[in-house]
Amino acid sequence: MKKELFEIKTTVEDVFQHLHANPEISWKEYSTTKYLKDFLVREGFQVSTFEDSTGLVVTVGSGKPCVGLRTDMDALWQEVDGEFKANHSCGHDAHMTMALGTLLLLKKLGIPKQGTLKVLFQPAEEKGTGALSYIEKGLVDDIDYLYGVHLRPIQEVGNGFASPAILHGAAKLISGKIHGIEAHGARPHLGINAIEVGAQIVQAIQGIYLDPMMSYSAKLTRFQAGGESANIIPGNAEFSIDVRAQSNTAMDELIVKVNHAIQSIAALNNIKIDFNIETEIAAAEVDATAVEFMKAAIIDTIGQHQYVPPIVTPGGEDFHFYTLKRPSIKATMLGLGCDLTPGLHHPNMTFNHDSILTGIEILAKTIIGTFQKRSDENATD
């Protein structure tokens, strides 16, 4: 495999440079979709695109088992050196490159010899809606095993190390609006101060308690009220709340308590507070067998001493909707150490680009191992 990996090295580097230099935000990955489609069609792959959205799916082979590989495509919209722009600071450019490189490598190796390989280039991970859209399209209904990959910051996984599972937490982002009553600063009894209502919401959600053995948090992350006139009590305000929990069960309990806290504050002040969940991400539901396949591939690629057990992280990933909505899918995500600094979502994030080839080799061996194991099981049935 090392020989075949070396043969695609220059192509892989060129693909990464193009994707990194041409980032596009969620649901607007038009040029990215076209670039990937044109490249893969030239390489002889069967590619499917969609009239109603960005993204594409590559299918190789036919029949069972069906092994899937998923990558995210979208960039973030953030301020970089004083200018707001699309920016690949979460590693999705590297993830796409690894998925494409894995296809090229497996093609050279003649894999799959039996069964189906399905590679999902998925849009809008940062919005938390891309995976759900692919589920609604039925794109994963035939998949038995599904793998993913995400670069990990140095705080979690060291350069040259890798983990066979990333245990992401659940997240929900709430947006709301307080409808109080404006009043003159000298007559506060005639108004309902939206800022004071916001302070009550802060206190209420800070008083929420769950099992202390489970990581969780709820906090206001945005609050806007008032204008330029300092002698007006603001009646209206907009706010956002970031809610996180390490398991889906804990998130269900936490979100009920957050909803109750906001409704209680509204009732206490006899006002209306509108709020809704804008974005939500499921916590990881990983399969032990899939983890073992990936663990074996990691050890075979970089050695036992570079192997890292499954890592717990408070971040979120919409990859986990696939197993939450389709429990029959056996899935896990590769956590790839790559000297990533200063951190994910930092506008000047950098990482060791050599790790892309390591990721390709691990993913390819994971997929080969999965096909081989299933073939052996079928032979003994």
Q: What are the pLDDT digits (tens) for 205-246? A: 999 999 999 999 999 999 999 999 999 999 999 999 999 999
Q: Is the pLDDT of residue 152 over 60?
A: yes
pLDDT band at 373 (very low <50, low <70, confident <90, very high): confident
pTM for this entry: 0.88
With 0-12 / 13-18 / 19 or more C-beta atoms within 10 angstroms meaning exposed / middle / buried, residue 226 is middle
Question: Across all residues in the chain, what is the average pLDDT?
Answer: 96
Same domain flag for 231 and 371? no
Task: Assign 14 a pLDDT band (cuts: 50, 70, 90).
Answer: very high
Indicate if 122 and 187 belong to the same structural domain.
no
Instruction: With H, G, I as helix, E, B as strand and everything else as coil, classify residue 345.
Output: coil
Note down the domain range covering 46. 2-168+284-380
**How high is the pLDDT of residue 314?**
83
pLDDT at 50 over 80: yes
Q: Is 59 helix (H, G, I), strand (E, B) or coil?
A: strand
Query: Over the range 131-151, which residues count as b (16 or more CB within 10 Å of their CB) and which as e?
Result: bbbbbeeebbeebbbbbbbbb
Nearest one of 213, 197, 194 to 205, comparing CA atoms: 197
75-84, 339-348, 351-360, 368-377 — which is least confidently predicted? 368-377
* 271 and 130 part of one domain: no
Q: Return the SS3 of 184.
A: strand
What is the rounded average pLDDT of the residues 161-188?
A: 97
Domain final position from 228, 252, 281: 281
Quick one: 204 and 270 in the same domain? yes
What pLDDT, on a 0 to 100 scale, did the predictor assign at position 378?
62
Confidence of residue 147 (pLDDT cuts 50, 70, 90): very high
Residue 157 pLDDT > 90: yes
* 310 and 161 both lie in a single domain: yes
Same domain, 124 and 37: yes
Same domain, 16 and 107: yes
Clarify whether residues 33 and 67 are in a common domain: yes
Residue 374: pLDDT above 70? no
**Phi-psi domain of 27 (left: phi exceeds 0; alpha: psi -120 through 50; beta: other):** left
Total domain count, the chain: 2
* CA 272 to centroid of chain Cα atoms: 34
Under the banding of pLDDT at 50, 70 and 90, the label for residue 279 is confident
Strands 66-72, 145-153: pairing is: parallel
CA dihedral 369, 333, 136, 103 (to 10 degrees): -50
Residue range 281-320, pLDDT digits in tens: 999 999 999 999 999 999 999 999 999 999 999 888 999 9
User: Is the domain of 141 the same as that of 289?
Assistant: yes
Q: Could you tell me the pLDDT band of residue 380, with boundaries at 50, 70 and 90?
A: low
What is the pLDDT confidence band of residue 376, given thresholds at 50, 70 and 90?
Answer: low
CATH code, domain with 42: 3.40.630.10
Half-sphere exposure of 178 (CA within 13 A, CB side): 33
Mean pLDDT across 112-135 = 96
Q: How confident is the model at residue 151 (pLDDT cuts 50, 70, 90)?
A: very high
Claim to verify: residue 306 and residue 164 sit in the same structural domain: yes
Residue 55 in 3-state DSSP? coil
Q: Is the pLDDT of residue 381 over 70?
A: no
pLDDT at 30 over 70: yes
